[in-house]
Structure 1
Amino acid sequence: MHDRKRGSQRRASTSPWKYVLATWLAGVLAAVGLGAVSPAGSALRSSLGLSGGALAWATSSITAVSAVLGIPAGWWVRRFGAQRALCWGLLVMSVAAAGSATAGSWGLLLGARIAEGVGYLLVFVAGPVVLTHLTQGGIRSAALALWGTCVPTGLAIAAATGGALAAWWTWHQWLALTAIGPLIMAGVLTAVLPQLPTAAVPCAHREAGTWNGALRLGVAYGSLSLVGVAVVMVLPPFLTEHRQATPAVAGTVVAVVCLGSAVGGLAASWLLRRGSALSSLVPLGAVMPVACLPAFSAELPLAVSGGAATLVLVADGLLISAVFAAVPASVSRPEHVDIANGILNQLGGVGILLGPPVFGLVIAVAGWGAVAAATLVFGGLGMVLLLTTARTSGGGSAGGRSRSPDTSRGRDMREGSEPIGKAAGVSKPHRPRP
């Protein structure tokens, strides 16, 4: 009996960070699939005879799935179970990536990428739910903020690895390689993650105001994603056409700028882990429109412009990670977190799709100086909504409704903040009945 008690205590005291890092790596590998087509774009166009527009559809079809099916995916994840949805999402991505590698026409490539988008959506809806179940308090806020770095990290890995292999590998081989990681990770998560509760949950409440917090965060996420993607997309033509930079130099600058978003997300995770209030991070977003002025100025040295653009993405990544950290506190019941993440992914996908054409239109009408004004409008909207949600849901606290491990068991269960041992399915030994 004592040995069993000690074993349970050891499992209950297991650090949740190994689960956090495994789940985060799954999100990074999914994001590699998101960015897999871009490094092979030239080879795909010449091999399949694609136009620029057709290639763009093959590239963005993954996020288009999120823009259409984000909220239904949240409902499905709730019923199927977040852990299983995460693993199945990785498997779907792996099979679909293999299909992309063998595609012989644009139609087959597009179909495979849409299927991959379904798996990507499952991963990015279920991943934060898994983290929410397995963590609490400051660790939960830091873990969800870390999740916000998955996309920029994965895109940077895809750009660097795909670009390096382009000279030796065909696009078939490169896309086949991107199918291996999700497949392996699905097996790793099945073995590593503890069993999460799979009890049936009641239907979501439909009272007025139930989803106000999640909707505000969703619009904030869409606005901030719009800014980040738009800046990254319009920067290369600015550098090559107005700064006379070579494509190689422009590509290097953009890669560094993209990594800035991951740096911002890591900074948010570090600050929240150390007890910083969520509302205290929001004012840092004011850097974005200010930094856009030197970033898109043809009068300053290229290094200054590149550094300023990186600063824009650092602030943007920090706020996006703060959005993910705010999700658990934005809903009235813990079982609503999956649907809230579906809302985030759907509105975020809309922002990603709209960003480049909106900024392109602004630049065509008012010139490159208007990038700062557009960033002020959309970034400011995201900041206001994030700050409003942080103040109304958790008093500006990063943890929101999460409680510390010292909170009483009864209150913990009502607020949905389970200790890691409980979340991992580790139960206390039963006392014998009198």
Structure 2
Amino acid sequence: MSDRKRGSHRRVSTSPWKYVVATWFAGVLAAVGLGAVSPAGAALRSSLGLSTGELAWATSSITAVSAVLGIPAGWWIRRLGAHRALSWGLFVMSVATVAGATAGSWGMLLGSRIAEGVGYLLVFVAGPVVLTRVTRGGIRSAALALWGTCVPMGLAITAAAGGVLASRWTWNRWLALTALGPLIMAGVLTAVLPRLPRAPVQHPYRAVGAWKGALRLGAAYGSLSLVGVAVVMVLPLFLTERREVTPTAAGTLVALVCLGSAVGGLAASWLLRRGLALSSLVPLGALMPVACLPAFSAEFPLAVSGGAATLVLLVDGLLISAVFAAVPAAVSRAEDVDVANGILNQLGSVGMLMGPPVFGVAIAAAGWGAVAAATFVFGGLGTVLLLPGARTSGTGTAHGVARSLDAQDRVDVGEESEPLRKALDVSRPNRNRI
């Protein structure tokens, strides 16, 4: 009887969703830093005398770091520990953002953004690893799908808040404000997250074939990210040039479209939490090129075009969340999740960097109708690459890796890891009800 009471008390008093929500907030705040320069772009150009190219480099240098160092970061986080890497990543972002807020030249601003990119990389590689190790079963799939909403949610917050504050404040004060959230969250995570055991490092090198599943998912993530970022980047130009929409109205519409991606990710998390098969979400990718036709056509009412563009990003966000949910089934060993997330971030960042120029070339060559064609090519590629991983997530392989992850979490659980033991216990159904 006393054992049943203790089990019931543990299940009520500690929930894995506490760790999930805290980790998700960390990702959202890191994504706010990703988009922080854009709302203050005009003020930065005027204050520091930046060219359009220099401003673009300052904006995209964060993802450039991930595009170069994503896989090495996965190996390093395996040694450091995911919970430490997550907190340190936020701290580095905060310090680097403060340095950027005091920059007096383009070189100083670029250097601070590169340093911020290192922290951003740590957060986005370590975050899914933390979620994988403090959750189990259906909660794990839902939590990883939720993680896929961090970037669109953060960018939407930046677009909304930055549009209001950056026009009233100096760019220095705006950037300093964006440094506050990661600093506070770093302290919160240090206090809240359990001490996760480090994965054993026994094989510093493995054949490429061993990473086939993770590489396929990374390529899918890169293709889908390319589409999502490109659509968001070219949409304002289409609205102002072809639809003759004011810049203010175009900015508001783009912010709503970005929210569509977050809604898609939240929908994926909700559906997976309720037992929907991951493979059931993948066919929705066919909607993206179809929705691009009215989204980038002046023949339709603006409300229809805006709704269609939102649908493109909603499906894109849903599929990106599905990519993260499929990661545990894409690795053959539980300890490889760290590196698998590094692969995802590196290839995803390559897609983000390539998206705007690739779509820009297509539009210059064939007009705005090329947006649908490019979305068909890259969105279709991402969908096809995701499908095998989504199918595997419904087989015994996925469950085998999940059990392996759970077993790994119970290895070397000493005195300092008691919170982790509780986090794992609460996600297991309690059959002994009083």
Partner of 1:150: 150
CA distance in 1 between partners of 2:405 and 2:287 (Å): 40
Three-state SS of the structure 1 residue aligned to 2:202 is: coil
Structure 1 position 233, deviation (Å)? 0.5
Please tell me whether the aligned partners of residues 78 and 199 of structure 2 are also in contact (alpha carbons under 8 angstroms): no
Partner of 1:37: 37
Structure 1 unaligned regions, length at least 5: 404-410, 429-434
CA distance in 2 between partners of 1:251 and 1:317 (Å): 20
CA distance in 2 between partners of 1:154 and 1:396 (Å): 33
Write out per-residue CA displacement over residues 102-131 of structure 1, whole angstroms, 9 at most, x where no aligned residue.
000000000000000000000000000000
- Alpha-carbon distance change, 95 to 228 in structure 1, aligned in 2, over 3 angstroms: same
Partner of 1:324: 324
Normalising by structure 1, report the TM-score.
Answer: 0.92
Please tell me whether the aligned partners of residues 133 and 423 of structure 1 are also in contact (alpha carbons under 8 angstroms): no
Alignment of 1:10-29 (within 5 A): 10-11=9-10, 14-29=14-29
CA distance in 2 between partners of 1:272 and 1:147 (Å): 13
Partner of 2:287: 287
CA distance in 2 between partners of 1:399 and 1:335 (Å): 14
Write out per-residue CA displacement over residues 71-92 of structure 1, whole angstroms, 9 at most, x where no aligned residue.
0000000011000000000000
Please tell me whether the aligned partners of residues 79 and 199 of structure 2 are also in contact (alpha carbons under 8 angstroms): no
Higher helix share: 2
CA distance in 2 between partners of 1:96 and 1:298 (Å): 43
Partner letter of residue 331 of structure 1? V
Partner of 2:278: 278
Structure 1 position 398, deviation (Å)? 11
- Alpha-carbon distance change, 199 to 272 in structure 1, aligned in 2, over 3 angstroms: closer
Three-state SS of the structure 1 residue aligned to 2:209 is: coil
Counterpart check, 1:335 vs 2:331: no
CA distance in 1 between partners of 2:76 and 2:110 (Å): 24
Partner letter of residue 256 of structure 2? V
Counterpart check, 1:189 vs 2:205: no
Three-state SS of the structure 2 residue aligned to 1:201 is: coil
Partner of 2:420: 424
CA distance in 2 between partners of 1:338 and 1:30 (Å): 19
Alignment of 1:340-359 (within 5 A): 340-359=340-359
Write out per-residue CA displacement over residues 273-315 of structure 1, whole angstroms, 9 at most, x where no aligned residue.
0111111100011110000000000111111101000000000
Please tell me whether the aligned partners of residues 218 and 345 of structure 1 are also in contact (alpha carbons under 8 angstroms): yes
Partner letter of residue 420 of structure 2? A
Q: Which moved more, 1:419-428 or 1:301-310?
A: 419-428
Counterpart check, 1:177 vs 2:170: no
Structure 1 position 203, deviation (Å)? 1.9
Please tell me whether the aligned partners of residues 328 and 401 of structure 1 are also in contact (alpha carbons under 8 angstroms): no
Q: Which moved more, 1:76-85 or 1:414-423?
A: 414-423
Please tell me whether the aligned partners of residues 36 and 178 of structure 1 are also in contact (alpha carbons under 8 angstroms): yes
Structure 1 position 195, deviation (Å)? 1.3
Partner of 2:301: 301
Partner letter of residue 394 of structure 1? S
Partner letter of residue 49 of structure 1? G
CA distance in 1 between partners of 2:399 and 2:225 (Å): 23
Please tell me whether the aligned partners of residues 89 and 121 of structure 1 are also in contact (alpha carbons under 8 angstroms): yes
Structure 1 position 401, deviation (Å)? 4.0
Alignment of 1:6-405 (within 5 A): 10-11=9-10, 14-198=14-198, 200-203=200-203, 206-207=206-207, 209-391=209-391, 393-395=392-394, 400-401=399-400
Structure 1 position 213, deviation (Å)? 0.2
CA distance in 1 between partners of 2:110 and 2:314 (Å): 32
Write out per-residue CA displacement over residues 170-225 of structure 1, whole angstroms, 9 at most, x where no aligned residue.
10001001111111000000101111113643225624521000000000000000
CA distance in 2 between partners of 1:37 and 1:111 (Å): 14
CA distance in 2 between partners of 1:169 and 1:102 (Å): 14
Structure 2 unaligned regions, length at least 5: 426-434
Partner of 1:406: none
CA distance in 1 between partners of 2:251 and 2:394 (Å): 42
Partner letter of residue 34 of structure 1? L
Please tell me whether the aligned partners of residues 63 and 352 of structure 1 are also in contact (alpha carbons under 8 angstroms): yes
- Alpha-carbon distance change, 32 to 97 in structure 1, aligned in 2, over 3 angstroms: same
Three-state SS of the structure 2 residue aligned to 1:109 is: helix
Structure 1 position 399, deviation (Å)? 5.9
- Alpha-carbon distance change, 158 to 413 in structure 1, aligned in 2, over 3 angstroms: closer
CA distance in 1 between partners of 2:118 and 2:264 (Å): 28
Q: How many residues align?
A: 419
Structure 1 position 418, deviation (Å)? 6.2
Partner of 2:428: none
Q: Percent identity?
A: 75
Please tell me whether the aligned partners of residues 394 and 401 of structure 1 are also in contact (alpha carbons under 8 angstroms): no
CA distance in 2 between partners of 1:307 and 1:398 (Å): 39
Please tell me whether the aligned partners of residues 133 and 406 of structure 2 are also in contact (alpha carbons under 8 angstroms): no
Structure 1 position 11, deviation (Å)? 3.9
Normalising by structure 2, report the TM-score.
Answer: 0.92
Three-state SS of the structure 1 residue aligned to 2:196 is: coil
Partner letter of residue 215 of structure 1? L
- Alpha-carbon distance change, 63 to 208 in structure 1, aligned in 2, over 3 angstroms: closer
Three-state SS of the structure 1 residue aligned to 2:365 is: helix
Partner letter of residue 353 of structure 1? L
Structure 1 position 166, deviation (Å)? 2.2
Please tell me whether the aligned partners of residues 294 and 305 of structure 2 are also in contact (alpha carbons under 8 angstroms): yes
CA distance in 1 between partners of 2:275 and 2:405 (Å): 23
RMSD: 2.4
- Alpha-carbon distance change, 115 to 412 in structure 1, aligned in 2, over 3 angstroms: closer
Structure 1 position 17, deviation (Å)? 0.3
CA distance in 2 between partners of 1:118 and 1:216 (Å): 24
Structure 1 position 149, deviation (Å)? 0.2
- Alpha-carbon distance change, 417 to 141 in structure 1, aligned in 2, over 3 angstroms: farther
- Alpha-carbon distance change, 207 to 167 in structure 1, aligned in 2, over 3 angstroms: closer
Structure 1 position 395, deviation (Å)? 3.8
